[in-house]
């Protein structure tokens, strides 16, 4: 027998959630087959079979939390040939025997227990402790009783339960509230979505976050792109987008205002002398921030290629943990979805994030006598006021604006 264990994931990740089993119990597996997908805080990890045989035991169900090193399944290396027989004959003969033993106890009570949605591990643990699953309250969003719920259940707090067997009707109000004309659907939050939610709340509770705004006249950049885009794409085999301009402008501003390229550790400020820029990308399971490493040493083409590759990996759910770790400053572009203005939330432990927005043609005063319609973009800088003062924040954003409005200067400053 070979045990399937949760592999080492990364230093900061000690557990995950069983996402989806791709092989079922009793199914033959070959070495290298993908057994299941494991959801972690940052990426989904495919667990590969390291042995050939039959998946005889699935110890963890979809939605269960598992720790690194924990056994989640068993493969019988000698059971490949006997799989069909093992499934067709023993099951019918042994299964009824188990049912016959369980039947005489209390038919209605057993029936009631079976109506409770619970994991196999929870049912086993409840039997060992002599606990009625109906008495256990679970915090699971789908109402499923977990082993943890059974372990933490205190029967002494349920002394009044026998008398109050009638309170079970308390579930009735829920049923009564369900209006067929107003249907709802419950979905389990993915582990990544839970982590995103938790971290966003933590940032707002722990950082002194403030946002300052400015606007950029995109005329010069758009003219330069229109002039150079064909030659650029032909030479570099990648399109010239706006992100390389903004990345270069951000790096130039970070060099001038280094506190925005820092983080707080205890009572110390860690100033980073490198520029690993996180680029927020919308993925199927939520926003992720892959990192372009040493962006200050990269050309416009290298930045565009790097961002493009990371975006494809994010959408295909192929990002590695190394793609997401680190990062000294983040750029997020809500403009691709049509956002005109927003206040981006910090990507902790970073202390700064730049928000780009949609380009909108607006009348702009050229001087006291002339007005022109110009392609304008609002930009927003959210920063941690604990170490970044308003002067640095405003100066940073003005620097970004000036560099973008004079894109040739990016070759010197960026």
- What residues are labeled active site? 385, 389
Beta strand pairing status for 53-58 and 2-5? unpaired
At 51, phi and psi to the nearest 5?
-140, 160
Contact 18/38 with Cβ under 8 angstroms? yes
**CA–CA separation, 120 and 146 (whole Å):** 9
Contact 331/244 with Cβ under 8 angstroms? no
Rg (C-alpha) for the chain, rounded Å, is 29
Tell me the residue length of the chain: 414
> Which three-class secondary structure string do you get for the chain?
CEEEECCCCECCECEEEEEEECCCCCCEECCCCEEEEEECCCCEEEEECCCCEEEEEECCCCCCEEECCCEEEEEECCCCCCHHHHHHCHHHHHHHHHHHHHHHHCHHHHHHHHHCCECHHHHHHHHHHCCCHHHCCCCCCCCCECHHHHHCCCHHHHCCCCHHHCCHHHHHHHHHHCCCCCCCCCCCCCHHHHHHHHHHHHHHHHCCEEEEEEEEECHHHHHHHHHHHHHHHHHHCCCCCCHHHHHHHHHHHHHHCHHHHEEEECCEEEECCCCCEEECEEECCEEECCEECCHHHCCHHHHHHHHHHHHHHHHCCCCCHHHHCCCCEEEEEHHHHCCCCCCCCCCCCCCEEEEECCEEEEEEECCCCCEEEEEEEEEEEEEECCCCCHHHHHHHHHHHHHHHHCHHHHHHHC
Q: What is the largest CA-CA distance in the chain?
A: 96
Q: What is each CA distance from 222 to 129, 219, 241, 300, 302, in whole angstroms?
A: 70, 5, 10, 15, 20
């Amino acid at each position: 027998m070979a045990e399937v264990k949760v592999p080492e994931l990364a230093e900061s990740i000690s557990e995950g959630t069983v996402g989806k089993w791709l092989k079922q119990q009793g199914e033959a597996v070959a070495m290298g087959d993908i057994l299941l997908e494991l959801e972690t805080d940052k990426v989904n990890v495919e667990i590969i079979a390291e042995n050939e045989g039959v998946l005889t035991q699935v110890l963890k169900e979809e939605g269960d939390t598992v720790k690194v090193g924990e056994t989640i399944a068993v493969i019988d290396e000698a059971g490949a040939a006997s799989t069909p027989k093992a499934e067709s004959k023993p099951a019918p003969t042994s299964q009824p025997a188990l049912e016959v033993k369980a039947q005489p106890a209390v038919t209605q009570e057993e029936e009631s227990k079976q109506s409770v949605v619970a994991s196999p591990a929870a049912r086993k643990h409840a039997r060992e402790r002599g606990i009625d699953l109906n008495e256990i309250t679970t915090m699971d969003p789908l109402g499923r009783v977990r082993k943890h719920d059974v372990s933490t259940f205190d029967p002494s707090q349920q002394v009044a339960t026998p008398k109050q067997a009638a309170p079970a009707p308390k579930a009735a109000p829920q049923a009564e509230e369900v209006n067929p004309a107003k249907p709802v659907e419950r979905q389990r939050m993915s582990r990544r979505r839970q982590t995103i939610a938790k971290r966003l709340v933590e940032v707002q509770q722990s950082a002194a976050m403030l946002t300052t705004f400015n606007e950029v006249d995109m005329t010069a950049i758009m003219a330069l792109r229109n002039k150079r885009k064909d030659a650029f794409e032909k030479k570099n085999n990648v399109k010239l987008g706006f992100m390389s301009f903004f990345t270069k402008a951000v790096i130039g501003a970070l060099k001038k205002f280094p506190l925005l390229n820092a983080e707080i550790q205890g009572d110390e400020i860690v100033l980073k002398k490198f520029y690993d820029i996180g680029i927020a990308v919308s993925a199927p399971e939520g926003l992720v921030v892959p990192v372009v490493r040493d962006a200050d040493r990269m050309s416009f083409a290298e930045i565009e290629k790097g961002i493009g590759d990371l975006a494809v990996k994010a959408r295909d759910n192929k990002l590695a943990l190394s793609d997401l770790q680190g990062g000294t400053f983040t750029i997020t572009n809500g403009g691709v979805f049509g956002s005109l203005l927003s206040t981006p939330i910090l990507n902790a432990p970073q202390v700064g994030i730049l928000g780009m927005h949609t380009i909108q043609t607006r009348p702009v005063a050229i001087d006291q006598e002339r007005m022109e319609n110009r392609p304008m973009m609002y930009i927003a800088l959210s920063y941690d006021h604990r170490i970044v003062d308003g002067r640095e924040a405003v100066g940073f954003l003005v620097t970004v604006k000036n560099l973008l409005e004079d894109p040739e200067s990016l070759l010197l400053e960026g």
